[in-house]
Structure 1
Amino acid sequence: MSTVSSLTGSYAYNDTLKGVYYGPGSIKTALPKLLDILGVKRALVLTGRSLFHNTNIIKTVESILKEHDAYGATFYDIGQHSPIAQIKSGAEQFKAVQADVIVTVGGGSPIDAAKAICHFLHQERGGPYARQIAIPTTLSAAEYTFAAAYTDEEGNKIFSISPELAPAGIILDAELTLATPERLWLSTGMRAFDHAVESLYRPLVPPPIKHLCYAALADLYTYLPKSKADPNDVEARQKLQIASWMSLWPLKLETFTSFGLSHVLGHKLGATYSIPHGITSCLTLAPVVSLKAEVGTKEDKEWLANALFYLRKPSTGSAEGDIKALSAEIQRLVDDLGLHSKLSQYNVPRGDIPKIAERAVGSKEDPTFAAVVALLEAIYS
């Protein structure tokens, strides 16, 4: 009697996102399906230098596109934090080959860069937005949002937001993640953990989505250590990709709100000091959760405290105690994954700490300013 694995399948939920296809080896069938659904005539493959030069993944994608007479060119000059100069170059390449879709392979930077390219092309020529098929090889979950995050010439993080910027299709093929460097894979897993935790107190997130975040936390907590112990465990990798999806389940534009302090600090630290966003989550999430035990609302504390149950850890008997215990478990996970780091390792000047805190909370008069300064001091060295 044959069985069908729950780790293979597809799901579609609105007119913008035609479908998420998932499962080991799914690239071979999912990409042709999406090409057909979208009526693709010419695709630009968008990726980074490491994937292009050090793996066969891009050649696999190019081959499938060529088989369906849909290959235009490959642009592989997208770096960390999606610099605007590279985005503009990618947009020129898109126009040069007369592409009508971007097939993005990689992590959050190329996926966000593709959204930004679609944004700038729409500004320039109007009409329907160009579309993206996202094939993530990390756990950053950028593929589930309609916000294009990129870095301007001064190193500031910029966001462009529109429902049409969400990818039209997503392919979660765990076999394509085997070449992802361990530190990048695991740290973006902590980024997904950050999404799930901060969605528990993010405004306008409905309760069913919060419960998906609990499930994401449970799986990330279980399978990140398993993936570290056995990097070739494709089943663990596929479960992590699905957990990343649950950590940032797509919401409509009217419910789009910013994340919490951990994400805000990550945005202030990442591009300015060249710290990968996965690592910023490793630095900030545990202390931010600990701070929530002191400054969070009663409802936020309840949602956070309940997360301890999903990690199969006993309650301390109080919401504040459980939040502190959750913070300790997050830090322990970071440490066990070999991701412990300090701001000083990334050459962040200690004198910049008050400025970073002020930018994060908005003003030195904010009641949490001193606490955020203390938080940053604690993770400095």
Structure 2
Amino acid sequence: MSALDNTQHESTALQGYYGWTDTLKGVYYGPGSLATALPKLLQALGATKALVVTGRSLYDKTDVVKKVENVLKQHNAYGATFYEIGQHAPVAGINNGLKAFKDAGADVIVSVGGGSPVDASKAILYFHKQETGGDYLRQIAIPTTLSAAEYTVGAGYTNEAGKKVAVSSPLLAPAGVILDAELTLSTPDRLWLSTGMRAVDHAVENLYRPLVPPPIKHLCYAALVDLFKYLPQSKANPKAIDIRQKLQVASWMSLWPMKQEKYSALGLSHALGHKLGAAYSIPHGITSCLTLAPTVALKAEVASQEDKEWLSNALYHLRQEQTGTLESDVLKLSNLIDGLVKDLGLKCNLEEYKVPREDVPQIAELAIGNTTDPTYPKVLDLLYNLYPN
């Protein structure tokens, strides 16, 4: 099944499965929650020494990492800090992070930052298990963006050839998550808002993702309501901690943790984003700004009746009039997403990110699996339309 064609799955409105990840000890949220939540999670895990994993900019340019280090030091649980994690988590950084983890004698990772440190930490712990043959050690995630990598069991990293590679296990999902909006104040506005669009991407694509049960889809509607409401407010008032906290919770709702009996990819927008992001150094939040609205427009043409209904009903939750046909409703949702991208000042194109036009056929093929898929020409058109006229 391609990332685009989810038409053959059974109706998840009538049958399915829901389970929580086996090992999540808790999600703590609220401004200032770091100081109380981190010690509780360390105790729940029986962890004694932490490696802090983060990115260089967050380490060099803010006091966020120092705040985390100080809490760990107060509880005699600080080992070291590793900050060589780059965008899309290059494997060289992961290998160096594994060495730092062992050198520190750490038994837990505390990741601080966006999706790259969180995913890199999963990969470090995956490689550690492969090397030692022991149990998976665990991660506590402290996100400073809205990308929501902390709620998934998989990790994407970039190999030596510049290709995105994935590892996955239920035991790689972070054992604890701390959503402290005070720690997000130094996140650059463009990164904060674009990862908010990544959360919109999660919420929308979960509406047509196979094997997602209805309660999760209704959480996605709630996420969309808050993301459409609070992202523009956060742009207008970036220091409003209450708005940032609500956005962190909305990001959580957009990718609510699930224990799936079998893995299902999110959808075409994410598939395209993964191929564009690693190969051309485009941040994942920006790839969602590029691909989500046109993907939803394409769904108006190719999606199943049930998937169109789920997308159409998003208009009701967003307090928008429905048009009278499912196809027009889905197109209206696409236009609303495009309008949000523009309102946030995030409208962009592939030319700006130096993606050669001649690469488009390969990007499309990698995203949907093959060139014989009947949707392949439509995906080509979608990508070519991401260049300026």
Match of 1:48 in 2: 55
Count, aligned residues:
369
Instruction: Name the SS for the 1:343 alignment partner.
Output: coil
Q: Alpha-carbon deviations, 1:92-125, whole Å to 9, x = none?
A: 0000011000000000000000000000000000
- Residue 385 (structure 2) aligned to one of 374, 378, 381: 378
In the aligned structure 2, how far is the partner of 1:307 from the partner of 1:20?
27
Change in Cα spacing, 1:239 to 1:141, as seen in structure 2 (3 Å) is same
Q: Which amino acid aligns with 1:183?
A: R
Alignment of 1:308 onto 2:315: yes
1:1-381 residue pairs with structure 2 within 5 A? 15-381=22-388
Q: Aligned to 2:351, what secondary structure does the other structure show?
A: helix
Once the two structures are TM-superposed, the CA of residue 365 in structure 1 deviates from its matched residue by 1.2
SS in 1 for 2:112: strand
Whether the aligned pair in 2 keeps the contact of 1:162 and 1:253 (CA below 8 Å) is: no
Distance in 2 between residues matched to 1:372 and 1:317, nearest whole Å: 27
1:81 counterpart letter in structure 2: H
Query: For the residues of structure 2 that align with 1:307 and 1:220, how far apart are their CA atoms?
Result: 13
Cα separation, 2, equivalents of 1:14 and 1:141: 15
Shift of residue 279, structure 1, vs aligned partner: 0.3
Q: Render the CA deviation track for 1:253-297: whole Å, top value 9, x for unaligned.
A: 414310110000001100000000000000000000000000000
Instruction: Please give the alpha-carbon distance, in whole angstroms, between the structure 1 residues aligned to 2:181 and 2:325.
Output: 39
The answer to whether the Cα contact below 8 Å between 1:44 and 1:102 also exists between their aligned partners in 2 is yes
Cα pair 2:365 2:376 within 8 Å, conserved: yes
User: Match of 1:10?
Assistant: none
Following the alignment from structure 2 to structure 1, what is the Cα–Cα distance between the partners of residues 368 and 154? 21
Q: Distance in 2 between matches of 1:173 and 1:230?
A: 18
CA displacement, residues 301-331 of structure 1 (integer Å, 9 cap, x when unaligned): 0000111111111111111011000000000
User: Shift of residue 15 of structure 1?
Assistant: 4.2
Structure 1 residue runs of 4+, over 6 Å off? Answer: none
Opposite residue 307 of structure 2, the aligned amino acid is D
Give yes or no for contact 1:49–1:78 (8 Å, CA) kept in 2: yes
Partner of 1:7: none
Unaligned runs of 5+ in 2: 1-19
Distance between the aligned counterparts of 1:151 and 1:244, measured in 2? 24
TM-score by length of structure 2 reads 0.94
TM-score, normalised by the number of residues in structure 1: 0.96
Contact map agreement 1:205 1:255 (CA 8 A) in 2: no
Letter in 2 for 1:201: Y
Contact between 1:43 and 1:70, CA under 8 Å: does it hold in 2? yes
Distance across 2 between alignment mates of 1:266 and 1:127:
34
Distance in 2 of aligned mates of 1:318 and 1:348:
36
* Paired residue secondary structure (1:99): coil
Distance 1:104 1:306 in 2: 37
RMSD: 0.8
Q: Report the CA distance between 1:339 and its aligned residue.
A: 0.2
- CA deviations on 1:178-216 (whole Å, 9 max, x unpaired) are 000000000000000000000000000000000000000
Deviations 1:146-203 (Å, cap 9, x if unpaired)?
A: 1011110011111111011000100000010000000000000000000000000000
3-state DSSP class of the match of 2:146?
Answer: coil
CA distance in 1, matches of 2:339, 2:368: 27
Q: Name whichever of 34-43 and 176-185 sits farther off.
A: 34-43
C-alpha separation between the residues in 2 aligned to 1:360 and 1:112? 21
- Percent pairwise identity: 66
Between stretches 25-34 and 255-264, larger displacement belongs to 255-264
Q: For the Cα contact (< 8 Å) 1:163–1:253, is it kept in 2?
A: no
**Structure 1 gaps, min length 5:** 1-12
Which has the bigger relative contact order, CA under 8 A and spacing at least 6?
2
